[in-house]
Amino acid sequence: MREVYVDNNATTRVAPEVLEEMLPCFCDLYGNPSSLHRFGGQVGEKVWEARERVADLLGAHPDEIVFTSCGTESDNAAILGTLASYPEKRHVVTTTVEHPAVLNLCRHLEGKGYTVTYLSVDHTGMIDLDELQEAITRDTALVSIMYANNETGVVFPLEEITQIIKEKGAVFHCDAVQAVGKIPLDLRSTPVELLSLSGHKLHAPKGIGALYIRRRTPFVPFFIGGHQEGGRRAGTENVPSIIGLGKACALAKEAMAEEQRRLQILRDKLERGILERVPSCLVNGGQSRRLSNTTNMSFEAVEGEAILLLLSEEGIAASAGSACASSDPKPSHVLVAMGVPQTAIHGTIRFSLGRYNTKEEIDYILEKIPSIIQRLRELSPLWSEEKRATG
């Protein structure tokens, strides 16, 4: 059976070039980078080179990059590390559409006596910059706002957000897990203090992430132990994955402009094709600036899980929301926050394209999806009601 993977916001395939650079790190370059002998020195140089490559993609200094185990750890370390640096401040600002790595941590913090302001979004998925400005007070230790949404691909205006936060004098953490490698970033001109990224979203392996910490930003480490990562993240480094992440960042830098242009053409073809072939569906966040690889579509009167299952029978792997929430029957918090109509919210599918998708695969999805939706609607009492209502 044909296999089409269009769930690249959940995770990506490791690029062969990345794997190739990682392989020597298992049996040849196996020293501990902290060791003073030749085995350690060689590996230490490789880790530094990876740090330079990550920094280069972000417009950062290599010493501002701290390797972590994933995006979730980077988000947690940024938030907890900042709060511990400002113990007198007890207020955090974030948005209603963050990834659970930020949102659930903020809820946890509320239980510990912090006050959290959750900025709302409108039906296009956009926050209100005036609301952001008003939310920041002298008690605000940190503002944590994502760059690009994992479910809808909606991209927040990072420059303007940063400017407002800087004028108000708060620390800014940006969860850029979905943005890094997809949209250009230059931290020399965007004075974010902390920024999270994750390797498996850009063709590096799972289980490796990084946290950018701007020089002179107060930061209390989360892990206590050795002096690795400049004392900011204890624990012997995951060397093969760090090397892999470095290579993935170098590849992303080289290919980003062309790759994103190509993906946008494919994504638009898919989106337009579905809108033309399937009645009563809508694109969530379609009016906003979005990641060029992502489309999030709601189909009236059908269940997202049922669509996924039938797509899967045809070899197509997409997602009903974010991967982390896919075992959760509640509608996505992002779509609820955007006010997606109740009749459509449960029938939501995210297609997220990636480096290895082709035009032929898009044609294949377009060939399969109309009959899948039609089949499900024929079985749906909601659909006959809707048809009756609309005549």
For ligand PLP, the closer of residues 75 and 300 by Cβ is 75
Q: Which two tokens stand for residue 196?
A: 């999270």
d(CA 351, CA 362): 10
Measuring CA to CA, which residue among 270, 210, 218, 196 is closest to residue 246?
210
Q: Which two tokens stand for residue 96?
A: 């209603």
What length is written for the chain? 391
Q: Which of 25, 106, 249, 324 is catalytic?
A: 324
Residue 339 CB, nearest approach to ligand PLP (Å): 21
Among 209, 240, 285, 321, binds ligand PLP (CB under 6 A): 209
Residue 212 CB, nearest approach to ligand PLP (Å): 14
The contact pattern for ligand PLP, residues 158-187, with x = CB under 6 A and - = no contact, is -----------------x-xx---------
For ligand PLP, the closer of residues 44 and 354 by Cβ is 354
Q: Is 284 in the site for ligand PLP (CB under 6 A)?
A: no
Residue 73 CB, nearest approach to ligand PLP (Å): 7
Residue 222: other Cβ atoms inside 10 A: 18
- For ligand PLP, the binding residues in 58-77 under the rule CB under 6 A are 70-72, 75
324 belongs to the catalytic site: yes
Angle between helices 71-85 and 100-111 (to 10 degrees): 40
Q: Which two tokens stand for residue 67?
A: 């390797």
Residue 323 CB, nearest approach to ligand PLP (Å): 6
Residue 324 CB, nearest approach to ligand PLP (Å): 6
Contacts with ligand PLP by CB under 6 A: the residue count is 14
d(CA 143, CA 117): 9
Among 29, 77, 92, 146, binds ligand PLP (CB under 6 A): 146
Among 46, 91, 99, 168, binds ligand PLP (CB under 6 A): 99
d(CA 174, CA 21): 29
d(CA 213, CA 64): 5
Strand order in the sheet with 281-283: 281-283, 294-299, 348-352
Q: Is 93 in the site for ligand PLP (CB under 6 A)?
A: no
The amino acid at residue 86 is Y
Q: Is 198 in the site for ligand PLP (CB under 6 A)?
A: yes
Rg (CA), the chain: 22
Residues that bind ligand PLP (CB under 6 A): 70-72, 75, 99, 101, 146, 150, 175, 177-178, 198, 200, 209
Give the catalytic positions in this structure: 324
